[in-house]
Amino acid sequence: MDLLFIADPLGSFKTYKDTTYAMMREAARRGHRLFHVLSGELSLREGKVWAQAAPFDFVGAEAGGAAWFQHHEAGARMLADFDAVIMRTDPPFDLQYLYATQLLTLAAEQGAKVFNSGQAMRDFNEKLAILNFAELTAPTLVSTRAADIRAFLAEHGDIIVKPLDGMGGSGIFRLRTDDPNIGSILETLMRLDSRTIMAQRYIPEIVEGDKRVLVIGGEVVPYALARIPQGGETRGNLAAGGKGVAQPLSARDRHIAETVAPELVRRGILLAGLDVIGDYLTEVNVTSPTGFQEIMQQTGFDVAARFVDVVEQWSAGLQAA
């Protein structure tokens, strides 16, 4: 199979923990031909979506530094000519990202097999997606009005506020009714009532970890990566200094994931990373979910193999119903 990865520059990968690297390595081990392109190198010509795609090979050590790959000369190729197109560009979901998803939707209409689909990445905002599963979530408010957030805080006493386009824990604040910085924080986040944010009741179980639960092709990976806050932090995100600990799913984790999974498949989402704190679903990550290598290294469960299995199946039209 010819697999096109739309991803950040390969030289920027932290190969000891990068999920996209693990995907690529497993695909290469199976003999698939790998190509790479930046999202900004997609184009539309004569009604067709093209990529300036560069084939590449693995070289050097198993998890070498920047010299782990060798690029070959890039050439223009229609996305529909690849057996699978795997979108792994990291957020933020800005205008450039939006334009790329629109091109991916056009490519899919021309026969390209795109995972995750451009339509799904546009429609399934990683914060707002939980509103499709209200029975699984803690009390949540979405508003552009600071007065609404203040009323929500007065009701619950301890809340989390966050922007709808953040990543890696950026822009997340914990607010309590006695916090002297409430006004300043809301002004910063909401830009004087011109920016929509989300507020959620604070979930004390965050001290035990913000669990990343992976769903691949509608099947739930049996281990979660609990990202445990360190040093008094509220946030467990690894990018914010959290410690990643792989652990078997609890019964509640599995219930949440199995409830969400059919909707993911219906929307063409091959890979999603659900964020679960305590008994509650807090986010559904569909842009470039991570956690493969930490789970693989700590449990021996080969998440990358499961992922490539499903790419092969869905590319062959064997997508789960």
Q: What is the pLDDT of residues 84-107, one digit of tens each?
A: 999 999 988 888 999 999 999 999
Q: How many CB atoms lie within 10 A of CB 95?
A: 7
pLDDT in tens, 40-61: 999 999 999 999 999 999 986 5
Task: Using DSSP bridges, classify how beta strands 243-248 and 280-285 pair: parallel, antiparallel or unpaired.
Answer: unpaired
Residue 145 CB contacts under 8 Å (≥ 6 apart), including other chains: 193
d(CA 11, CA 54): 14
Considering only CA atoms, which of 195, 192, 247 is closest in space to residue 222? 247
d(CA 233, CA 175): 13
User: Cα 230–231–236 angle (5° rounding)?
Assistant: 30
Residue 23 tokens, joined = 């995907």
User: Cα 108–10–247 angle (5° rounding)?
Assistant: 85
Task: Using DSSP bridges, classify how beta strands 114-115 and 197-201 pair: parallel, antiparallel or unpaired.
Answer: unpaired
Considering only CA atoms, which of 236, 181, 170 is closest in space to residue 207? 236
pLDDT at 229: 87
pLDDT at 94: 87
pLDDT at 321: 52
Considering only CA atoms, which of 35, 43, 37, 41 is closest in space to residue 3? 35
- Dihedrals phi, psi of 251, to nearest 5 degrees: -60, -40
d(CA 41, CA 310): 26
Active site residues: 127, 162, 212, 227, 235, 275, 283, 285
Which residues are paired to 53 by β-bridges? 75
Considering only CA atoms, which of 63, 59, 71 is closest in space to residue 15? 63
Residue 146 CB contacts under 8 Å (≥ 6 apart), including other chains: 183, 186, 187, 190, 193
Total residue count of the chain as it appears in this document: 321
**Low-confidence stretches of the chain (pLDDT beneath 50):** none
Considering only CA atoms, which of 120, 139, 269, 241 is closest in space to residue 200? 139
d(CA 145, CA 140): 14
Q: Which helix (H) or strand (E) holds 233?
A: none
Going along the chain from its start, the domains and CATH numbers come out as: 2-116 (3.40.50.20), 139-202 (3.30.1490.20), 205-311 (3.30.470.20)
Residue 175 tokens, joined = 């607010």
Considering only CA atoms, which of 221, 217, 212 is closest in space to residue 303? 221
In the sheet that holds 219-228, the strands lie side by side as: 243-248, 219-228, 210-216, 271-277, 280-285
